[in-house]
Amino acid sequence: MSTHKSFTERVFQAIGFEVLAIILCTPLLAWLMDKPMVDMGVVTLGIGLIALGWNVVFNGLFDRLLKRLALVPSAGTRVLHALMFEGGLVAISIPLIAWWLKVSLMEALILDIGVLLFFLPYTYIYHWAYDVLRERMVLARA
């Protein structure tokens, strides 16, 4: 499978990831936290924008690492990818959540752990599906 993606494609991949995540998370988090949809929407959008930038940068670096180590995407590399990607967001998102929702850092951490438990499989599944669909499109063009 080819891992070479243009900057434009990386941005497209990241935007798709974040838009779908916001659509799924906002109503669920508003219900779980008993907060207005607007408040949760702002939190998920803010985290989504931060994650969007991180997604483009991280995926580029991760693909370079795979290439340098001569690895192909596998279940193990996808698990590593998901853990590293989500771990990078935790440190940024906890203070943002606490500040916007006016909750303690502990409450924000608990919420973030819940979000992380959603995003670990979501990240894995999204990028796997994207890679599969991309490979099919690349092969169809050839």
Q: For the residues of 45-84, what is the DSSP string, one character each?
A: HHHHHHHHHHHHHHHHHHHHHHHHTT----HHHHHHHHHH
How many CB atoms within 10 Å of residue 138? 12
Global pTM reads: 0.65
Residue 128 is predicted with a pLDDT of 93
Are the CB atoms for 95 and 108 separated by under 8 Å? Answer: yes
Q: Which two tokens stand for residue 30?
A: 């508003």
The residue among 31 and 3 whose pLDDT is bigger is: 31
Smallest CA-to-CA distance from 44 within 104, 139, 118, 140 is with: 118
Q: What is the pLDDT of residue 14?
A: 86
1 falls within a domain: no
Q: Does residue 15 belong to any structural domain of this protein?
A: yes
Question: Mean pLDDT across the chain, nearest whole number?
Answer: 86
Please indicate, yes or no, if residue 104 is contained in any of the structural domains.
yes
pLDDT, mean of residues 118-141: 90
Predicted confidence (pLDDT) at residue 2 exceeds the cutoff of 60: no
Question: Is 79 within a domain?
Answer: yes
Which among 26, 25, 17 is positioned nearest to 49, based on CA atoms? 17
* Local structure of 88: helix, strand or coil: helix
Is 130 in contact with 11 (CB distance < 8 Å)? no
- Domain enclosing residue 129, as ranges: 7-141
User: What is the tally of structural domains in the chain?
Assistant: 1
